[in-house]
Amino acid sequence: MISLNRVSKIYPVSKEVVVPAVRDVSLHVERGEFVVITGRSGSGKTTLLNLVAGLTRPTSGQVLLDNIEVWKLPDKEQSLLRNQKIGFVFQFASLLPTLTAVENVMLPKMFGGEQNQERVYERATQLLEQVGLADKFKSFPRQLSGGQQQRVVIARALMNEPELLLADEPTSDLDEATEHEIMELFRGIHTETGVTALLVTHSIDLASYGTRSIQMAEGEIVSP
């Protein structure tokens, strides 16, 4: 499913100074795996996910998604591929503040050009029910707690039935109990749908939720 071959991402900060965010990383993920990535702040986890999704250009090396180099596709096909195949859960508050919960969940269908509003609405409400927010359809993000917001984001990520789920510290701002609830949700989704998942977390305790765990440090994969 995912194949990274000696991928590096180097950010130029000034003329002399460069930051190697990801260094010579090779990683292969099979369809249906649930990989948990851990590592300290600044170790390159977010950059790695961005590379996988084709949201940023690798400085060197090759990123393949189902044998396609996403970054090299024209914008139209790149967007379509992300829209249809990848679900994102971001590290930061990523709900559009001017849209309600259900409208946020409907967004990926809008970008995919879906016309049947009724069907889209129906699926969005189903997903919100599934993540336990049956009574929050019409709430705006600011009216939801951090955990509730993250559940909406997860529902949105599942809207187009993705083959790949990329989650970047989905529990970073949550208390421990909520953290485990959200992780249970991910585990449930994984077993139910068989989606391939890459989940980044700063806490090694959560590594056990996945089927495999890898650790990053200073832009490199250090274990296993």
Partner 1 sequence: MQMIRLAIRNATGNSFRGWVVFFCAALMAGFVISSTLVIRGANTSLQLALERLGADIIVIPEGHEQRLESALLMGIPVHCWMPDTIKDQVAAVPGVVATSPQLYLSTLRGATCCSVPEMFLIAYEPETDFTLTPWLEKNLDGGLEVGEAVGGSLVYVPRDEGVLLVYGYALDLAGSLDPTGTGLDQSMFFTFDTAFEIARASVTEAVKVMDIPPRTISSVMVKVSTDANVEQVAAEIDAAIPGVTPLETNKLFKGQREQLLSLLNSVVALLGIIWLLAMALIAVVFSLVVNERRRHIGVMRALGARRTTVLKSLILEAVLLALAGGVTGIAVAILAIYLFRTLIVGLMGTPFLIPAPLGLAALGLGALALALAGVVVAALIPAVRISLQDPAISMRE
- Contact between 173 and ligand ATP by CB under 6 A: the answer reads no
- Contact between 46 and Mg ion by CB under 5 A: the answer reads yes
The SS3 call for residue 207 is helix
The SS3 call for residue 88 is strand
- Contact between 214 and ligand ATP by CB under 6 A: the answer reads no
Q: Which is nearer to partner 1, 47 or 215 (CB)?
A: 47
- Contact between 21 and ligand ATP by CB under 6 A: the answer reads yes
Task: Identify what 43 binds: Mg ion, partner 1, ligand ATP, none; CB under 5 to 8 Å per kind.
Answer: ligand ATP
Give the N- to C-terminal CA distance of the chain in Å, as an integer.
Answer: 19
Q: Is 81 exposed, middle or buried (0-12, 13-18, 19+ CB in 10 A)?
A: middle
Piece of the chain touching ligand ATP by CB under 6 A; list 34-42, 59-67, 95-103, 147-155: 34-42
- Contact between 97 and partner 1 by CB under 8 A: the answer reads yes
> Under a CB-based contact definition with an 8 Å cutoff, are residues 70 and 63 in contact?
yes
d(CA 185, CA 3): 26
Selected binder of ligand ATP within 19, 96, 134, 222 (CB under 6 A): 19
- Contact between 72 and partner 1 by CB under 8 A: the answer reads no
CB-based contacts of 158, cutoff 8 Å, min separation 6: 87, 127, 165, 189, 193
156, two tokens: 């949105």
Which residues are 25's β-sheet partners?
A: 7
Q: Which residues bind Mg ion (CB under 5 A)?
A: 46
Tell me which residues touch partner 1 (CB under 8 A): 47, 50, 53, 55-57, 75-76, 79-80, 82-84, 86, 88, 90, 92, 94, 96-99, 103, 106-112, 117, 120, 156, 160
